[in-house]
């Protein structure tokens, strides 16, 4: 006969938003920290929006981001149409926010958006404007900043204090300003912006590998054999560590930036205040893995031959020449000694940290571990189970940005009703 009990390895209760339950047959010994406790998730489809022949509001040009508000309403960012579409928990349209134009609340080049902790919505309109709306989507104000003091990237994450964490923003220099050289430029800056204040603040500098040496130049020639363009490129490298970020409810930032299994917790002041992980070592890169990775890269670049580079003002045949250079780079590609353990990471509404491990050989989906911010290991989802979503919501809601059989952008929402352990 089975006993039902919470999976967590600590005495505190699990967050109710996830409702993880374990069905166990008998009382066995506790699993070693390196052993996987396999979990079987129970999910239910809630709704899918985005349809070529559907209602007009469902015709998305591109879905750049999705985010749930505290009520479970989903905000769908469609930068090509310069709008946010908001649907309720049944997938029915509530409102649209933004729109193209130069009037109050209208957009010219929306680059990213976020829902602040007080429910307000902020859109970063490139290059130097924050557009603010109230929780019902009504325009509130426009806040500008000096782009030469720093600009955010498309990834925006709100802290409880109203400040915004971002990475990957462009760096612009005034014509009369000399570019400053910074120490260790290969490190990846995670930055902090305050609405209404000029400039940015570097919250944390994430680790990264040193850049590879310069490879041969990428060159293009015209029909007469004359060089039209030349670009120096660093040598291609496979299995570089990603940079994965997730925001906890108290404002701490979960950061993955290494080859090993380690999730750093960055405090509000930018210091490392903790770390969680499991004793799982990176997979060594073998010659068979190198050969398989080269073949994957070749196949991907071969597909570029079918892509027409129209409207870019490029010389005739550039696409084919770029593809040939890229294939040559694959042959000359270098490899890390090991494959990063972590391929992805997210934080759900209950502050549980979802960590996707890299698949065997660096290919395909991997297992997903669920951890608490205090380091407790809950269990592992199978590689063929639900993936880390593009957005976590309340009450187990999870949203995925996908395309249908006609390559039309759609958003699928499911609910994680519970998780059981096959016993």
34-62 burial code (b ≥16 CB/10 A, e <16): eebbebbbeeeebbbbbeeeeeebbebee
Residue 327's φ and ψ, nearest 5 degrees, are -65, -35
212-224 burial code (b ≥16 CB/10 A, e <16): eeebeebebeeee
Q: For the chain, which residues score pLDDT lower than 70?
A: 1-33, 179-180, 215-232, 304-320, 422-423
Q: Long-range pairs for 21-25 at CB < 8 Å and ≥24 separation?
A: 21/418, 21/419, 21/420, 22/379, 22/419, 22/420, 22/421, 23/420, 23/421, 23/422, 23/423, 24/421, 24/423, 25/423
Calculate the alpha carbon distances from 58 to 96, 332, 390 in Å.
Answer: 11, 45, 18
* Cβ neighbours of 133 (radius 10 Å): 22
pLDDT for residue 219: 59
Q: Long-range pairs for 218-222 at CB < 8 Å and ≥24 separation?
A: 218/322, 218/325, 219/321, 219/325, 220/315, 220/317, 220/318, 220/321, 220/322, 221/321, 222/315
Residue that has been written with the tokens 């020639």 in this structure: 221
Nearest partner of 135 among 150, 107, 115, judged by Cα: 115
Q: Long-range pairs for 200-208 at CB < 8 Å and ≥24 separation?
A: 200/149, 200/150, 200/151, 200/152, 200/169, 202/270, 203/165, 203/253, 203/266, 203/270, 204/253, 204/255, 204/266, 204/270, 204/272, 206/243, 206/255, 206/257, 207/241, 207/257, 207/258, 208/241, 208/243, 208/257
Tens-place pLDDT, residues 124-175: 999 999 999 999 999 999 999 999 999 999 999 999 999 999 999 888 777 7
Q: How far apart are CA 345 and CA 275, in angstroms?
A: 14
Look up the pTM and report it.
0.87
CA 69 to chain centroid: 18
pLDDT for residue 198: 81
* Cβ neighbours of 246 (radius 10 Å): 23
* Cβ neighbours of 385 (radius 10 Å): 16
CA geometry: angle at 290 spanning 288 and 294, to 5°? 120
Nearest partner of 7 among 237, 267, 352, judged by Cα: 352
């Amino acid at each position: 006969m089975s006993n039902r009990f919470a999976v967590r390895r600590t005495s505190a209760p699990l967050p109710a938003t996830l409702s993880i339950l374990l069905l166990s047959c008998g009382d066995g010994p506790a699993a070693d920290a390196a052993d996987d406790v396999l979990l079987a998730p129970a999910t239910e489809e809630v709704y899918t929006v985005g349809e070529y022949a559907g209602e007009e509001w469902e015709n998305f040009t591109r879905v750049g981001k999705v985010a749930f508000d505290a009520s479970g309403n989903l905000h769908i960012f469609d930068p090509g149409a310069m709008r946010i579409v908001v649907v309720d928990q049944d997938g029915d349209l509530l409102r649209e926010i933004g729109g193209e134009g130069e009037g109050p609340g209208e957009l010219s080049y929306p680059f990213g958006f976020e829902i602040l902790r007080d429910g307000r919505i902020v859109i970063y309109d490139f290059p130097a404007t924050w557009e603010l709306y109230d929780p019902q989507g009504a325009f509130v104000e426009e806040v500008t900043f000096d782009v030469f003091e720093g600009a955010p990237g498309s990834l925006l994450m709100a802290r409880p204090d109203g400040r915004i964490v971002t990475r990957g923003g462009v760096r612009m220099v005034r014509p009369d300003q000399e570019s400053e050289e910074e120490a260790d430029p290969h490190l990846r800056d995670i930055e902090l912006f305050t609405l209404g204040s000029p400039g940015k603040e570097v919250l944390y500098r994430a680790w990264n590998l040193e850049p590879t040496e310069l490879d041969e130049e990428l060159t293009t020639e015209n029909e007469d054999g004359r060089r039209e363009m030349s670009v120096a490129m660093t040598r291609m490298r496979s299995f570089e560590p990603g940079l994965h970020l997730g925001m906890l409810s108290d404002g701490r930032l979960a950061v993955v930036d290494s080859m090993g299994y380690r999730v750093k917790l960055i405090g509000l002041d930018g210091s490392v205040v903790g770390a969680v992980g499991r004793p799982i070592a990176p997979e060594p890169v073998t010659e068979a893995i190198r050969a398989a990775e080269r073949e994957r890269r070749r196949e991907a670049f071969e597909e570029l031959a079918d892509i027409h580079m129209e409207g870019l003002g490029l010389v005739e045949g550039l696409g084919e020449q770029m593809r040939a250079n890229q294939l040559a780079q694959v042959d000359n590609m270098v490899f890390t000694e090991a494959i990063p353990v972590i391929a992805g990471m997210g934080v759900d509404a209950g502050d549980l940290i979802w960590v996707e491990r890299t698949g065997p050989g660096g290919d395909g989906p991997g297992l997903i571990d669920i951890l608490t911010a205090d380091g407790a290991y809950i269990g592992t989802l199978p590689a063929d189970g639900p993936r880390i979503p593009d957005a976590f919501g309340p009450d187990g809601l999870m949203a995925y940005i996908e395309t249908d059989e006609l390559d039309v952008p759609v958003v699928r929402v499911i609910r994680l009703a519970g998780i059981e352990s096959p016993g």
